[in-house]
Structure formats: structure tokens, C-alpha cells
Amino acid sequence: MGYKDSSLPAAERAASLLALMTAEEKVGQLVQPFGWKTYRKQSDGSVRLDESFKQQVRSSGVGSLYGVLRADPWTEVTLENGLSPEEGARAINEIQRFAVEESRLGIPILFGEECSHGHMAIGGTVFPVPLLVGSAWNVDLYREMCRAIAAETRCQGGSATYSPVLDVVRDPRWGRTEECFGEDPYMIGELAAAAVQGLQGERLDSERSVIATLKHFAAYGSSEGGRNAGPVHMGLRELHEIDLHPFRKGVEAGAMSIMPAYNEIDGVPCTVNDYLLQRVLREEWGFEGFVITDCGAINMLASGHDVAENGEEAAAAALKAGIDMEMSGDMFGKHLLSALKRGTVSEAKLDEAVLRVLKLKFKLGLFERPYVDPEQAAKIIGSKEHVELARQVAREGIVLLKNEGGTLPLRKETGQIAVIGPNANHIYNQLGDYTSPQPRHQVVTLLDGIRNKFGADGEERVLYAPGCRIRGDSREGFETALACAGQADVVVLALGGSSARDFGEGTIDLRTGASVVTEHSWSDMECGEGIDRTGLHLLGVQLELAQEIHRLGKPVIVVYINGRPIVEPWIDENAHAILEAWYPGQEGGNALADILFGEVNPSGRLTVSIPKNVGQLPVYYNGKRSRGKRYLEMDAKPRYPFGFGLSYTSYAYDGLRVSPDRISPDGEATVTVNVTNTGTVAGSEVVQLYVSDKVSSLTRPEKELKDFRKIALEPGETRTVEFRVGKEQLQMLNRQLTPVVEPGEFLIMVGRNAEDGISASLFVENEV
């Protein structure tokens, strides 16, 4: 019984426990049923465990449960039938107690939860989506956000999360763009490390730490046509230099879990890609955690990818390739025992997977502390500090795209403001996918935020009309919206998209703006998982509404709330100001109002290039020099480049210096640049460093981001920003896929975005 001795190392305890287990119990540790199906809430807030779940625990044990506390339309868990933070903690304790006391060996369950931008449970703080997090360019702030998410998850009993998403966006028509940080592997890698540090903390057995799962491994953001889980056509060099880079950084930071992607790469589904899961991940990178599939991924091998004849063949292939646990599928539980008896998989391979799972359970401290304190859950989840943090992240990630003639910031003395549009006052439209049901008071919409600035006069000073929906061709709200705009001195027009699933909140009366519960709810969803598009234009009659309001001759400020870039040339040319807010979370309305009224100077910068026309795609900034010149109708340049974002002040760059300007392949140079706030208000600038290899033995990207700093500057203040440039910033993969630094000239560019900066040369020589 050495596995009960907490003084022994986790690996030794896991081996001791494995030696006592039957084949059935081993397989049981590799399955992860849907957690919300294991219980029913009772009238007093307690839970009653499902009999089939009890039987499974008693017969073979259950290694993990997925989404015990997940609440959304898919799980059919609502505010009414779901669990409060305290009830959720009690429920997980009840489930865990049964597993520990009723299974033969008393192995605790690992509870896995969704936490892309907050724990997806009732009461959890809803932070901005990762696309906005990327736009904040603030690694330390994101690490702090992850610490808050980990605390909210672990205090309820969750011990693993299926985030961060490290996919590199190559086609923003893809519905999961909102879940990603952007199009640049270096930036994603920095945020990957921060996520691991924030989620896992210094020790996994801390009461505020959870296992981070890096996903989706790999190249999921490069699917054919931007269609979810579509095939990926990519060579090994691009795979390693672009898509695998963020995962390597996450593994180096200590990530303990990896989730393979649904897609195939050059004909091999990632779920059975032993090159990725064994050679790269474990042999080359030294990954010591466990690999868990995405939901239903093993089923896809036999029905979708069609590389397996049946479920048993699919399960065996996945285990042999390096899968350790199956998320919410039924292939391992149904077929691994028979595959073991037939010799399709070896017991040694099964033991490898089980050992990895058990080792992490010991590292998490689940055997010593399997239960949580419900009172602590009630205090930590949705705390005032976390809500303020959500507001700060939103403030830093909202991007000012246009500000003609100093339209912004608005003045409190402005007479009346009309807030119009389908995203002006719809709580779920500003939260993104992977969001739990929300009480109305917990979410601050754009309308709420602007009215809050005027206190008791808010309703009188700030008029509202929805005008139209995100989708659909109804113009019945136009008349009210135009009348509302006609009374106002300035119009704030909230347009964009929606990743809102059907939360049963009904629809909006376009003439009054009131919520109306109808027999058939209206879906405005045009983004999110599985919602891919052929275009990037505004749907429905939103553009027409904007054009009608513009004819009134009032200043029009467009606020985009959405999950992927929007391409609308008319708005780019005619709106007086444009803010890109992505999905800014539950405090999004307050953050937007802070920026609109100048209490916060916008410092967000784009992490995805926004094209002039969808026909330009792909339009990411770090493409090859050889990708072609232009189209017949237009050039290949984006409307708004990577790294772009305006401010209420201005910044000047000068004094760029590279010292020394000649180094060996193993050497390092220091890059310094002076950045001055030349305006009249304080602000934060994102100083970006790019490297371009002038001549190389293999084709290279035109330029690549290699470092950045977000700095705060008072009016007239100058700061000298310093970067280090060495092997990691200059290397490439040669024909043998070995990292090398080739001799020659490198252009070092520092500036405010990928197309606006100053440059100097750095020479690499074999003999310096």
C-alpha cells in the first residue's frame, strides 16, 4: 500500500498503485464520462448520484469527469437547474466521496473543466475572450487573469482545464478565431508560457492551481477553407516554425496536459499522429504529462477520417500513438479490454498511459486532499477583485481603429447620446462561446456602461434602440433607431457578431428594445465552434442601418463586438471613429465607456491582420516574400496591419541602435530605441521588434515578431526600450529541420506595428 505514503515521490506511488490494479481498473482510469450526467440536483440544492455512474465506480472506477459544473445550452444546465458556486463545490465533494469510499482502491477522480475565458460554471467571472487578451499585449496581466481562473476552478473541485488554445489563426473565417490569441507564433508562445505559469502555479497541489491543457495539437487554425477540423496542408518546416512553436513554449513552461486537434496533417489525423505525440512531444521536448483527446476524436477515426475499420481498431490505434485519456467518448471504455485480449495493444502500453494519469493525481494532491471547502468557493468565485481584473483586461485589449478629427474621447458635456445596434444591450452577444448562463445584473453591456457614466441622468441622457438583429432582414426597428439618433448629438453604433447559443432569453423587440419571450427563440449566432463563414462582412441589415444613420449627419462612432475580424469598407471610410472590442466579457460595457469618455487611453493592438477584402485571404503579416505581388483589383496589403492600434496621444521613435552590429552565430546583440509620448495625455505604447533575414538558404517570412514591450508614458516623457537579439531570434530550420543561424545581414525593425517602424542592420559572421 505504498501509494498511500505521501512522503514518497509521485512516480513511485503511481507504480505502487498500478501493481494493485486489474485490467478493468486500469482502463477505468483512462475514461472521462460527461460529468453533468452523473447527478441530479435536488430541491434543497444537494445532488443525487446517477445509479449507472455508481455502478461504473464500483466495478472499474472512473478516472476523470468532464464538465461536472459546465453550464450552457449544450449541457441543458441553466440558472434554474444548475448549481451555485457553493452548491457546485458540495456536489463535487459528494461525487468524489463516493469514488474514494466505494471504489476498491479509493482512487480519486480528476475533474476537468472548460475555462477558455473563465470557468464555464454558474457564477464564474467571465473574462474577455483570448482574441482580446492577445490584443492587450500584456503577458503579466494575462498571467494574473489565469491565476484568478485557476482559483475559481480549483476552489470548486476542478483540477484540470482545457485551455489555453494555442492555434495560430490563418483564416479568420474559422469560427474558433475568438478562442485564439492571434496570427503570430511568437506572441502566442509568450502567452502560452504565461497561461501555464498562471494556471498551474508553483505547485500543482496548491488550492489555487489546476492542470493546463495545451490545445489543439497541432495546426488546427490552418484548416482548408477555414472550416472547422478540415484537412491541413502543411510541410514539416512550417509546422515546426509556426504551429508547433507555441506548444513547445508551453511544454517548456511545464504544461502537464496536451490535447490533439481533430484535423489531419498530410493525411494523418492528429489523434493517431505518433510523430507528433511520441517523437516530437515526448522524445524531443521531454513532455512528462498526459495526452487527452478532444471530445469524440477517437470516434472520428472510424467515422469521419475513416482510417480505422471499427471502434476497437480506432481505440487501439489511439493508445499506441500516445493517447492517455479519452475525453467524453466511449471508445476506450468499450474496446480497450477486448483489444488487450486480442493482443492489438500490449499491457505495457496500457500501463504507460495509466501511470501518467495516476502520477498527476498524486502531484495534484488529490489523494491527500480530495475535497474542497464550499464556503471558500462562495467567497472566491466572482469576487470583486476578479470582476475588476476582467474590466482591466478589457480596457487594455480594446483597439481604436479610427478616430477622425478627434471624435473621441467624448465629453460628459455632450448633450444626448444615442446607443444603437444589436450589440448595444445584449448580454450574451458580448461574452463569446464557452460561456455559462448569466444573471442580467452580472453583465455590463455597452448601454449600461455609458449610462453608468451619467449616474441618475443616464436614462435621460443616453437613448437606446436596437435597430436590427445580427442576422435576418427585418427593418422594423429602423424607424425607432432613426428617431432615436435624430434626437442625439452623437451616435454610438454597436454592430458586429454573436457567438451566443440559445440561452432561452427570447428575442428583442426591435421597436422597443425590450426582451420578448417567444415560443421559438431567434439565433443570431454567426461565430463560435463549428460556425465558419464564407465572408467577413456584417450579416443581416447592419450595414444598411449604419448607412441610414450616417445620412442624418451626426458623428457616428462604430463599436464592433465580435469574434473575428470584420471587413466593411464603407464603415472604414465613413464612420467617424471605430473601436474593435472583440468579445470583452462581463465588464465589457464599463471598459468601453472608460475608453469612449477618455478615462482610459486605448492601448490595444491588433493580433490579426484585417483585410480590405475577403478575397485577399490569407493576409497574415509574416508570409513569405515569394507569395506574390498583387491582385488585379487591389494590392495584397491589409486594411489594418498586425500590431495596429491608435491612441489618444502620439508616439515618436528614434535613436535605434544595435550593439554590437556584428555577432557570431552564437552571439547576442542589444537593441535599444527611444520612444517618446509627443501628445498631451498619458498613454501606453506597444513597442514591437521584428526581424527579417535578408538572404537565406531557404525561403523565409518577410518579417517576424521576436519581442515586444508595453510601456506607460506621461506626456513628453521619453523611455529607452531595450531588447536582446541572439540565436533564438535569428535561427531558422535548415533542410534537416535543425535550428541554425546562417551568416548574413538581418534587418532589425522596431515600431508601432508590422508596417510602421524604423530599422537597422545586424550582421552575423562566422568570425567576429
Give backbone dihedrals phi and psi of 688, rounded to 5 degrees, phi first: -115, 135
Confidence class for position 520, pLDDT limits 50, 70, 90: low
Domain 398-608 is classified in which CATH homologous superfamily? Glycoside hydrolase family 3 C-terminal domain (3.40.50.1700)
The overall pTM is greater than 0.75? yes
Residue closest to 577 by CA, chosen among 599, 560, 553 = 560
Q: Which residues contact 306 (CB under 8 A, 6 or more apart)?
A: none
Segment 90-108 mean pLDDT: 98
* pLDDT tens per residue across span 6-37: 999 999 999 999 999 999 999 999 999 999 99
Task: Please provide the DSSP assignment of 399-444 as one string.
Answer: EEEEEGGG--S--TT---EEEESTTSS-TGGGT-SS-----GGG--
pLDDT given at position 514: 84
Segment 605-630 mean pLDDT: 93
Residue closest to 723 by CA, chosen among 684, 658, 670, 660 = 670
Strand ranges, E, within 108-167: 110-113, 160-161
Radius of gyration in angstroms for the set of CA atoms belonging to the chain, rounded to a whole number: 27
Instruction: Please provide the size of the chain in residues.
Output: 768
pLDDT given at position 588: 98
CA–CA separation, 600 and 393 (whole Å): 12
Task: Please provide the DSSP assignment of 233-273 as one string.
Answer: ---HHHIIIIISHHHHHHHHTT--EEEE-SSEETTEEGGG-
Confidence class for position 519, pLDDT limits 50, 70, 90: low
CA–CA separation, 480 and 751 (whole Å): 45
* Residues in a beta bridge with 319: none
Segment 267-292 mean pLDDT: 98
Range in 192-196, 262-266, 412-416, 740-744 the model is least confident about: 412-416
CA–CA separation, 609 and 640 (whole Å): 6
* pLDDT tens per residue across span 488-514: 999 999 999 999 998 887 788 898 888
* Percent of the chain with pLDDT strictly greater than 90: 95
CA–CA separation, 70 and 119 (whole Å): 8
Domain with CATH 3.40.50.1700 in the chain: 398-608
* pLDDT tens per residue across span 123-153: 999 999 999 999 999 999 999 999 999 999 9
The answer to whether residue 91 scores a pLDDT higher than 80 is: yes
* pLDDT tens per residue across span 730-756: 999 999 999 999 999 999 999 999 999
CA distances to 130, 160, 577 from 605, in Å: 13, 31, 16
The answer to whether residue 551 scores a pLDDT higher than 70 is: yes
H helices, E strands: number in the chain: 23, 30
Domain with CATH 2.60.40.10 in the chain: 651-764
Domain 23-379 is classified in which CATH homologous superfamily? Glycoside hydrolase, family 3, N-terminal domain (3.20.20.300)
CA–CA separation, 142 and 149 (whole Å): 10
294 part of the active site: yes
pLDDT given at position 628: 80
pLDDT given at position 712: 98
Residue closest to 479 by CA, chosen among 507, 506, 509 = 509
- What average pLDDT is seen over the chain? 96
Domain with CATH 3.20.20.300 in the chain: 23-379
Strand ranges, E, within 22-81: 31-32, 39-41, 47-49, 64-66
pLDDT given at position 498: 97
CA distances to 306, 344, 418, 445, 537 from 429, in Å: 37, 48, 19, 9, 17
Q: Which amino acid is at 190?
A: E
CA–CA separation, 753 and 734 (whole Å): 29
Task: Please provide the DSSP assignment of 538-556 as one string.
Answer: PPTTHHHHHHHHHTTT--E
> Which three-class secondary structure state does DSSP give residue 10?
helix
pLDDT given at position 629: 80
| Residue pair 97/362 in contact by the 8 Å Cβ criterion | no
Cis peptide before 164 (omega within 30 of 0): yes
The answer to whether residue 587 scores a pLDDT higher than 90 is: yes
Cis peptide before 618 (omega within 30 of 0): yes
Segment 317-342 mean pLDDT: 96
* pLDDT tens per residue across span 30-62: 999 999 999 999 999 999 999 999 999 999 999
* Residue tagged active-site, from 294, 433, 448, 532: 294
Q: Which helix (H) or strand (E) holds 722?
A: strand 718-725
CA–CA separation, 66 and 110 (whole Å): 9
CA–CA separation, 375 and 454 (whole Å): 37
| Residue pair 110/35 in contact by the 8 Å Cβ criterion | no
- Residue 681: is it exposed, middle or buried by C-beta count within 10 angstroms (0-12/13-18/19+)? middle
Q: Which fold has domain 651-764?
A: Immunoglobulin-like (2.60.40)
